[in-house]
Amino acid sequence: MNRLYALKGLGPMDAKSIGRDALLRWIILLPLFIALMIRWVLPAFLQQIEPIIGFELMPYYPPLMAYVLLLLVPNLVGFVTGFLLLDQRDDRTLYALQVTPLSLNGYLIYRLAMPVLLSILLGFVALPLSGLVPLNWPLLLVATISAAPMAPIFALTLAALSQNKVQGFALMKMSGIVLLPPMAAYFIESKWQLLLGLVPTYWPAKTLWLAQAWVNDGSAGSLWIYFLAGLAYQLIFLLMLARRFNRVMHR
């Protein structure tokens, strides 16, 4: 019961932290704005530059931009959570939690579950809003769930590896690198693309593309294998980062 009361007190504290930071507020809304840009602005721009570069871009636009948006949602949500963790670590709130009924591990479960749920919710809205993903709602849910664990992964990466907010912003900018390997995988048809599976963003990308293929030709293929393997692989990353964060907190 004491732990339940402690958890209830965290919600208002989080709302206050986000409310006083304009950047964090905008990051939460940014995926919806980007979805509208992807739907109405970028296609017109690409159609204008296709004759200039002499290469058709639009055939690759829906699958690649849908993947970018799918991963951008947990990326942004994860970094909001990561900055909250940095704030609470710097003002020693997390250290104070260690003498309350709510343990640090209990707090982490709460803290990391929230971005997962928020990523699923935002992804469920942003992807259809972009007009790129003609999936029925069960497949859309599968796609968003496949990417949602990346939110706590990004959050713990920020909190465990950054000493302060300046380093956190630098790490946030560098995080875009992990979005590139799955794009390369889209153009590799051989089994060699599985080597890119070392990057956790590969698995949600494959899940999304296989879900889109299912809609187009009615074949599930390896969808469920990639979905379950991706969740398991991301869980391994989460456990490793959680151990790292615990070591940082107990120095």
Exposure string (b/e) for 148-179, b if CB count within 10 Å is 16 or more?
bbbbbbbbbbbbbebeeeeebeebbeebeebb
More confident residue, 151 or 79: 151
Question: What is the model's pTM?
Answer: 0.87
Most confident of 53-62, 78-87, 121-130, 217-226: 121-130
pLDDT beyond 80 at 181: yes
HSE-up (13 A, CA, CB side) for residue 174 = 10
The confidence score (pLDDT) of residue 92 equals 66
Do 65 and 42 contact (CB within 8 A), yes or no?
yes
Do 189 and 183 contact (CB within 8 A), yes or no?
no
218: three-class secondary structure by DSSP: coil
Do 36 and 97 contact (CB within 8 A), yes or no?
no
Backbone angles phi, psi at 96, to 5 degrees: -65, -30
Of 171, 170, 239, nearest to 200 by C-alpha is: 239
What number is the average pLDDT over the span 159-167? 82
Measured CA distances, 157 to 38, 220, 245 (Å): 28, 33, 9
What number is the average pLDDT over the span 176-183? 85
The confidence score (pLDDT) of residue 122 equals 92
Residue 15 pLDDT level (bands cut at 50, 70, 90): low
What number is the average pLDDT over the span 156-172? 83
The confidence score (pLDDT) of residue 215 equals 82
More confident residue, 174 or 121: 121
The confidence score (pLDDT) of residue 233 equals 96
Percent of the chain with pLDDT over 70: 82
Percent of the chain with pLDDT over 90: 34
What number is the average pLDDT over the span 114-143? 90
More confident residue, 205 or 9: 205
Cα(176)–Cα(72) distance, rounded to whole angstroms? 9
pLDDT beyond 60 at 89: yes
The pLDDT tens digits of the residues spanning 64-78 come to 999 999 999 999 999
More confident residue, 246 or 236: 236
The pLDDT tens digits of the residues spanning 22-42 come to 666 677 788 889 999 999 999
Do 176 and 53 contact (CB within 8 A), yes or no?
no
Token pair of 175, please? 């995080």
Backbone angles phi, psi at 20, to 5 degrees: -90, -5
Q: Virtual CA dihedral for 225, 123, 110, 88, nearest 10 degrees?
A: 130
